[in-house]
A and B are shown apart, each in its own frame.
Chain A
Amino acid sequence: MAAAGRAVSSKVASFILGDDFWRGVVSIAAFLVFWEIGSRSQAWFGFAFPWVSQVPAPTAVLQEMFKLVQEPSFWNSALLSTVRVFEGFFAAMAIGIPLGLAMAVSRTFYGITFPVFEVLRPIPPLAWVPASIIFWPTQELSIAFVTFLGAFFTIVINVIGGAQAIDVRYFQAARSMGSSTWDIFRRIILPGTLPSIVVGATVGVGITWAVVVAAEMISGGGSAGSMGGAAGGGLGFFIWNSYVGGSYTQIVAGMISIGIAGYISSAALRKIGQWMTPWLSEN
């Protein structure tokens, strides 16, 4: 145990002291400096850099974020968005994984369902928003449905790919040792597909965030008019509101918050995935 701790800390130490860490730091610092100079270019140089000058400066954004973090309404919005993301995401997993597995296992089922699936897939999730609003009774459900769609297609595709890639010899070995079909499903197909499920989930959650933010913006008030009711709340809505209210620093602060939230979700899923597939991390 102590040896493992020492190994980890020496790895961390060599990472921090290593070249790649410092180069990353330098480039991020350079990026921030350029941004700061660019946004203040009008005031400092008398002429404005093309696009950057319209963007609020990092220092201003940082101040804004300090303020925001202390406001409960901000955290409410964040929570609301997160809840929406995970509703849709879990629904997509709950339906997508069994469906994907069924399609991978039965050629007939695949033949029937895959063409329909492939025809629906190119339609962007957001295009479903109006249809979804008409169909579902509440606004929340319609957003959840669209969110579900976002992740659903990715997850199913990944599950099918993963199941099909399982080496056929595992099946042969299991059969020759007398496994039943259910056993094979539980002990070969499920674990064999797990890595692909994890990949699909990690990508899917990113898509879900994108969809949630979009849906919140649209229903909160796009230029085409609001789509019925005050769906309100959520980080997407917050950003849109900040734009309408003219508070540009809040826009960027909101964007950063979403970015952080999205990153944490993906990282958390990846960690869970690694925990569920320990055999992959061994070299």
Chain B
Amino acid sequence: MVANTRNLTSLALALHRVSLWLKSSRPYLMLIGFAGFLGFWYLSVEVWKLPRFSEMPGPTQVVREWFSKDPTYGLSIFVPEYYMHIWVSTRRILIAFFLATAIGVPLGLFLGWSERFKQFVFPVFELLRPVPPLAWVPLAIVMFRGSETPVIFLTFLASFYATALNTMLGVESIDVSYIRAADCLGATRWQVFRHVIVPGAMPFIFTGLQISVGVAWFSLVAGEMVSGQYGLGYVINTSYTMVRYPTIIIGMVTLGIVGYVTSAAVRLVGDYLMQWRTRELALGGDR
């Protein structure tokens, strides 16, 4: 039977799921997990001072440094330099990610859609793929001028491969019945591409984009550690060489947060663009 879903806005659905979550045991288990993790860290470094752990910065140290108005090592949430580093890294990610998406998605769509195109292009694509992003660093420095472009190129490369591959997979996973139905209904090849292939591949494309953002951060940090100026990878690296250990952890945690936020942003955009899927999944479907 048809649920009266027209009246359920997406917001209502989301709130409903949150309330279900709160009533389950999950939030409490989560707290136990975090408490355990932080507790172990705290105890092993600051209280018991276990052999290997004693050199590490402890959680209270890190927290105090992170939130202090006048940090000993120069980086906290009150220091503008902190946000500059965040911005520099984020900006590089945004440029690389958008380039990778703009080139990778159409390429992936064509690779999946046209057998002939795939036969021509895919071998070259696969030839270059096994080379890890960081292995490109010296070559990138040689090829591109300046210090920004090589880093962005690295990030772009990793992101691009993930996006193109997942898009291609998405197209290939579309149930052939949809294409046949469109053919029966008189659609031309281009119409099939626009109305069936592109929307049909969307779920895969967005999964690919989430992976792509993660991979982008991976490459970016590597690139920044090797040859960057400014940026979170650079911060982590220099904090080590300048023996500012708590800042290392601050850098890592910040990276984790920013990485998570960018990934969640991609997922939210995907959820919004694919209302049909969100609703289907939320209502449990009826096959």
Contact = CB atoms under 8 A, between A and B. Distances in A.
Interface in A170-190: none
Contacts of A24: 119-120, 122-123
A23 B218 contact: no
Contact of B33 (A111, A236, A256): A111
Interface string B245-268: 100110111011101100100000
Interface in A195-235: 206, 209-210, 213-214, 217-218, 222-225, 227
B248 A31 contact: no
Residue with the greatest number of chain A CB neighbours at <10 A, chosen from B29, B52, B122, B144? B29
Contacts of A55: 139, 142-143
A122 interface: yes
A122 B221 CA distance: 12
B78 interface: no
Contact of A116 (B33, B139, B263): B33
A61 to B, nearest CB: 11
Contact of A122 (B36, B52, B122, B214): B214
B110 interface: no
B142 A243 contact: yes
Contacts of A31: 124, 127
A220 B185 CA distance: 62
A259 B52 contact: no
Contacts of B241: 224-225, 227
Contacts of B139: 55, 248, 251-252, 255
A31 B120 CA distance: 11
Given A27-B120, A51-B143, A122-B259, A258 B131 contact: yes
A260 B253 CA distance: 35
Interface in B42-59: 52-53, 55-56
Given A111-B30, A122-B217, A224-B234, A214 B138 contact: no
Contact of B252 (A131, A227, A256, A262): A131
Interface stretch (B171-179, B200-208, B222-230, B271-279): B222-230
Q: Assign chain B's interface to a size class.
A: 35 or more
A156 B121 CA distance: 33
Interface stretch (A5-13, A133-141, A271-279): A133-141
Given A127-B255, A218-B226, A134 B237 contact: no
A59 interface: no
Interface in A108-160: 108, 111-116, 119-120, 122-131, 133-137
B25 interface: yes
A220 B237 CA distance: 14
The residue in A112, A126, A252, A254 that gathers the most chain B C-beta atoms within 10 A of its C-beta is A126
B55 A135 contact: yes
B170 interface: no
Contacts of A115: 29-30, 33-34
A125 B218 contact: yes
B119 A51 contact: no
B41 to A, nearest CB: 11
A94 interface: no
Interface residues of A, number: 66
A26 interface: yes
Nearest to A227: B240
B281 to A, nearest CB: 15
B100 interface: no
B67 to A, nearest CB: 18
A112 B225 contact: no
Nearest to B253: A123
Contacts of B260: 119, 122
Contacts of B222: 124, 126, 214, 218
B270 interface: no
B236 interface: yes
A255 B121 CA distance: 21
A213 B240 contact: no
Contacts of B33: 111-116
Given A23-B120, A27-B121, A217-B134, A128 B256 contact: no
Contacts of B104: none
Output the residue of B25, B221, B255 with the most chain A CB within 10 A.
Answer: B221
A242 interface: yes
Given A23-B120, A28-B124, A112-B36, A130 B134 contact: no
5 nearest A-B residue pairs (beta carbon): A111-B29, A243-B138, A122-B259, A130-B240, A210-B132
Interface of A: 19-20, 23-28, 31, 51-52, 54-55, 108, 111-116, 119-120, 122-131, 133-137, 206, 209-210, 213-214, 217-218, 222-225, 227, 236, 239-240, 242-243, 248, 251-252, 254-256, 258-260, 262-263, 266
Interface of B: 25-26, 29-30, 32-34, 36-37, 52-53, 55-56, 116, 119-124, 127-139, 141-144, 214, 217-218, 220-222, 225-228, 232-234, 236-241, 245, 248-249, 251-253, 255-257, 259-260, 263
19 contacts: A23-B116, A27-B119, A31-B124, A111-B29, A112-B30, A112-B32, A122-B217, A123-B253, A123-B259, A124-B222, A126-B225, A129-B225, A209-B132, A214-B226, A225-B241, A227-B240, A255-B131, A255-B139, A259-B131
